[in-house]
Structure 1
Amino acid sequence: VRIPRGMVFNALKTVPRYFVMGARVPEYDLHLQENVTYFTTDGCGVETVDLYTGEKRVSTKADVGMMARVVDSQPAVGFYWPMVSAQDFGRAAPLHEADAGWQNTVKHIQSETIMGEREAEYAVEMATVIAGSREELRRRPPLSLVVCTIAPLLQDQPGIEGALVMAKAGIPVGFLAMPTLGTTAPATVAGALAVGDAECISATVLIQLVAPGAPVFHSIMQAWADPRTGAYVGYPLDSRGRTAPIEIAHHWGIPSMGACFGTDSVELGWQTAAEPALDPFLAGLVSPEFVTGMGLSRTYTLLRPEQLLLDIDLYQRARHYMQPLEVGEETLALEAVRNVGPGGQFLSQKHTRAHMRASFTRSIAYQLDEKNKYRDPLEVARERTRWIVENHRAEPLEESQQKELARILAAADRELA
């Protein structure tokens, strides 16, 4: 298919620059706007390292619900991508992933696994139950969809079919291109991004032809083929291309989903933090509307539940880097300096008592044990995650909503099995 230039530009004129991603509770609605970036989890992994036994196993619906509960407790995470697949529910797994999300968090749910016309129709029905009506679904959609294109220059038929159903209902749809330099895309970043952009824009044009004004977002997450092995690598030493797609989307006047985190590391260790360490800071500089990637390793496929809290720590560091440094009479502390003089110490100063605790922001790496020794951050993250899973509960769905979701899922299980 070759799309005339004029048709492309006319279609893009109908894409809203900003829209609302609704939540179960209105206070958690995400109002996309300039210079505001929301972060979310990664998905959709296929294996889980059990939080209690350390055993690696196939992921389940219970894992999806568990991580939704963790997300619900964390203000840093704006909405929830189901982090792993509900492989105990077959073809209807994507619908069960959305259900597990809504049952365990009041925040917006974004799926990347709902594909096909019938699956999408069931998803729209479920989202309508959460929203309360079709009108409210359009105004504050509690669900959005990510559809991966196929590199190079192809669209996925079930993905497009599902996207069309969602768009007609007013549910935001995003297109995510994942070109691999040297295999499914040119071996240069600019060439790979051009191919990925063509995939995203062609899909956006199709959506606007069918549902003008439908909310759409744009995303490219490129990777590299190791020239010696052919292995898929998400984080080579030079990975500048990870933030360039944000500028491309904004050039078109379309909201952007940026890429952060998603380390290639298999075990929790130096690589797990080193690869994505700068990602949230760079995202803050270019301001995508939202960013995905928290909490998975082994290139988006493996869930270690405690990793989400470790990635949130990286996010918090970036958030502090972006804050202005206050310089004024109080912060310069000239009176305290005069009081102490050369060779003195500041512990006895009122100024120190007023500011010392606030000046030291304690990260997960500086948590103290009963002997005031710094604890292992991995141990702290694991302990905190277990506490959240055992103690935190989101505001429950109304009983009528739970019954209606169960009815829809039962019908989907029968039809799609």
Structure 2
Amino acid sequence: MNKPHRSGGRAARQAARAAALPDDLRPVRPGLSGGRYAPLTEAQVTRIHETALAALEEIGLSGAPPTGVAAMTRVGAILGDDGRLRFPRHVVEEMLALAARDITLAARDPAHDLTLSGTRVHFGTAGAAVSVVDALTGDYRDSSLADLHEAARLVQALDNIHFLQRPMVARDMPNDQCLDLNTLNACLTGTTKHVGTSFCSAETVPMCLDYLYAAAGGEAAFRARPFVSNSNCFVVPPMRFAFESCQVMEACIHGGLPVLLLSAGQAGATAPAPLAGAVMQAVAECLAGVVYVNALRPGHPAIFGTWPFVSDLRTGAMSGGSGEQALLTAACAQMARFYGLPGGAAAGMADAKLPDMQAGWEQGMSDVMAGLAGLNMVYEAAGMHGSLMGFCPESLILGDDMIGAALRCVRGVEVTEESLSLDAMRQVCIGGPGHYLGTQSTLSVMQSEYVYPTLGCRRSPKEWAEAGRPDLVARARARREEIMAGPNPADFPADLKAALRARFPLLV
């Protein structure tokens, strides 16, 4: 008896999978549109908005520097005898009308530019970890400039990590100026993707701007395509401007850097404990930031950075890997969509100290929910452990696989005449082999419809055992070593590097 003929087979499947696809046909890529998940109803969104406006009008914020007070009162904010700036509703609405929308965060390589419009989703790093986690020994040690540069190199090599925001602090720097300047250099010589960073004080910004202008080939060139943005904690929740951070923000705005308006209250500590209250306060504080930025420079690119965190109310400790954190981030994404502003928030954080099962559920759950909610910039999406205290390179590499799966969820299911597969069903069922393995309809979507993990294991238990029971973290360590041993495509040309070293105190 003749067996049914299989069209294709293993060789055909391998050939189909090996053939590269154009970027626009890849199953996952930067900027896929989410927004299918909405934890808040329209009525709840409106109620949060109205309450935030009431908080700004009745409570306001204190602590702005005189330059900020002058700018905001000039557009209609009211400085009370108690030193608090209050924001009438019409002022907030007028500044929202001026705010930048559909912005692009440039990268040194334009192929990595990030378009922040609608519900387009991008995943990247962030944080200020003070330790590096050794995934094999479990030890935590102080993070260094070399660690930061390595993180940038890894981000450059990982397709699903779309931008580098400084994930750790280089603790081996002697002073603030050295820290801020060398943080920039370590990041930019490691990746051509967009870089976000913070500055310790306004005094360090001028030299850093000079460095950026020199690296870009001139001030005009940088201002036309600013490939670095400033992550700015411009408020100290609850409802108080951070004086020095606001001075940094003003210097960055005048210098041409996009800014992330970051409100990071902790529910139950520096923000209301109910989730709705934590979202509302973050929205109110970021709306004050929108007024601030647009009073200084109408239309300056700024990201609506509602970053409320969660406390474990039994201890008061941060709980970044909790289900409540995932909900907060998704709700904040929805509020940014309500205003039509580019939104950013934190997801992917693990309370777990190592890249283990706890880390997997904590990181994956919040990353998927943030993506489904249509968050434009998902910060801290991979590599962060110990409630943001530690950064783990192997976890970042494993996070690339995780985020690939998350992006596939974000993309959703496309329903077309072709994808419904009636013709393919007819061919298989009527005189065909009775299965879809190796058919043209299957091979044609192997790359465009399906995502395959780089390190994740899908072998059978028998095959896994025969292969020596490969350990996932060990494989990530090997991938890390492979990347770092390879060429560095992001390094500056030799002449530029020499010119920068001659002019600035660079340590990398």
Tell me what 1:80 maps to.
164
Shift in alpha-carbon separation, 1:409–1:157, aligned structure 2, 3 A: farther
Shift in alpha-carbon separation, 1:4–1:85, aligned structure 2, 3 A: same
CA–CA distance in structure 1, aligned partners of residues 156 and 368 of structure 2 = 23
TM (norm. structure 1) is 0.89
> Is 2:457 aligned against 1:366?
yes
Which of 450, 471, 474 aligns to 1:379? It is 474
Which of 176, 188, 211 aligns to 2:274? It is 188
**Deviation of 1:273 (Å):** 0.8
Which of 364, 383, 386 aligns to 1:298? It is 386
Which of 175, 185, 205 aligns to 2:261? It is 175
**Deviation of 1:15 (Å):** 1.4
> Is 2:318 aligned against 1:232?
yes
Tell me what 1:131 maps to.
216
**Deviation of 1:19 (Å):** 1.9
1:261-284 residue CA offsets vs partner (Å, 9 max, x unmatched):
011111221110111223333233
Stretch moving more, 51-60 or 122-131: 51-60
**Deviation of 1:374 (Å):** 5.8
Tell me what 2:426 maps to.
334
Tell me what 1:415 maps to.
none
CA–CA distance in structure 2, aligned partners of residues 215 and 180 of structure 1 = 26
CA–CA distance in structure 2, aligned partners of residues 107 and 275 of structure 1 = 26
CA–CA distance in structure 2, aligned partners of residues 360 and 215 of structure 1 = 35
Check whether the contact 1:262–1:297 (CA below 8 A) recurs between aligned residues: yes
1:173-200 residue CA offsets vs partner (Å, 9 max, x unmatched):
0111112222211121111122122222
> Is 2:35 aligned against 1:35?
no
> Is 2:290 aligned against 1:209?
no
Which of 354, 376, 380 aligns to 1:267? It is 354
Which of 221, 229, 235 aligns to 1:144? It is 229
CA–CA distance in structure 2, aligned partners of residues 98 and 35 of structure 1 = 29
Which of 45, 53, 71 aligns to 2:129? It is 45
Which of 19, 28, 38 aligns to 2:103? It is 19
Check whether the contact 1:281–1:318 (CA below 8 A) recurs between aligned residues: yes
Which of 472, 475, 485 aligns to 1:390? It is 485
Tell me what 2:496 maps to.
401
1:142-172 residue CA offsets vs partner (Å, 9 max, x unmatched):
1101112211111222211111111112210
**Deviation of 1:395 (Å):** 3.6
CA–CA distance in structure 2, aligned partners of residues 51 and 64 of structure 1 = 17
Amino acid at match of 1:365: G
> Is 2:395 aligned against 1:307?
yes
Amino acid at match of 2:413: P
Secondary structure of 2:393's aligned partner: coil
> Is 2:413 aligned against 1:324?
yes
What is the Cα-based RMSD across aligned positions, in Å?
A: 2.7
Check whether the contact 1:115–1:161 (CA below 8 A) recurs between aligned residues: no
Amino acid at match of 1:401: L
Which of 345, 356, 368 aligns to 1:281? It is 368
Tell me what 1:67 maps to.
151
Stretch moving more, 113-122 or 266-275: 113-122
1:17-72 residue CA offsets vs partner (Å, 9 max, x unmatched):
02222222222222323332121113221111347876431111100111111111
Shift in alpha-carbon separation, 1:212–1:119, aligned structure 2, 3 A: same
Shift in alpha-carbon separation, 1:218–1:135, aligned structure 2, 3 A: same
Check whether the contact 1:19–1:31 (CA below 8 A) recurs between aligned residues: yes
Check whether the contact 1:86–1:94 (CA below 8 A) recurs between aligned residues: no
Check whether the contact 1:243–1:259 (CA below 8 A) recurs between aligned residues: no
CA–CA distance in structure 1, aligned partners of residues 503 and 287 of structure 2 = 33
Shift in alpha-carbon separation, 1:355–1:377, aligned structure 2, 3 A: farther
Stretch moving more, 307-316 or 395-404: 395-404
Check whether the contact 1:96–1:409 (CA below 8 A) recurs between aligned residues: no
Check whether the contact 1:144–1:171 (CA below 8 A) recurs between aligned residues: yes
Stretch moving more, 232-241 or 192-201: 232-241
Shift in alpha-carbon separation, 1:256–1:296, aligned structure 2, 3 A: same
Amino acid at match of 1:49: V
- Unpaired runs of 5+ residues, structure 2, are 1-84
Check whether the contact 1:33–1:289 (CA below 8 A) recurs between aligned residues: yes
CA–CA distance in structure 2, aligned partners of residues 387 and 302 of structure 1 = 23
CA–CA distance in structure 1, aligned partners of residues 136 and 368 of structure 2 = 32
CA–CA distance in structure 2, aligned partners of residues 350 and 243 of structure 1 = 40
Stretch moving more, 33-42 or 231-240: 231-240
Amino acid at match of 1:126: Y
Amino acid at match of 2:243: Q
1:371-400 residue CA offsets vs partner (Å, 9 max, x unmatched):
356632222222111211121412431334
Amino acid at match of 1:212: P
Tell me what 1:119 maps to.
204
Q: Which of the pair has the greater relative contact order for Cα pairs under 8 Å at 6+ separation?
A: 2
How many residues end up aligned between the 2 structures?
407
CA–CA distance in structure 1, aligned partners of residues 478 and 333 of structure 2 = 36
CA–CA distance in structure 1, aligned partners of residues 353 and 87 of structure 2 = 42
Secondary structure of 1:312's aligned partner: helix
- Unpaired runs of 5+ residues, structure 1, are 413-417
Check whether the contact 2:334–2:374 (CA below 8 A) recurs between aligned residues: no
Secondary structure of 1:291's aligned partner: strand
Give 1 or 2 for the bigger CA radius of gyration. Answer: 2
Tell me what 1:258 maps to.
345
CA–CA distance in structure 2, aligned partners of residues 68 and 273 of structure 1 = 22
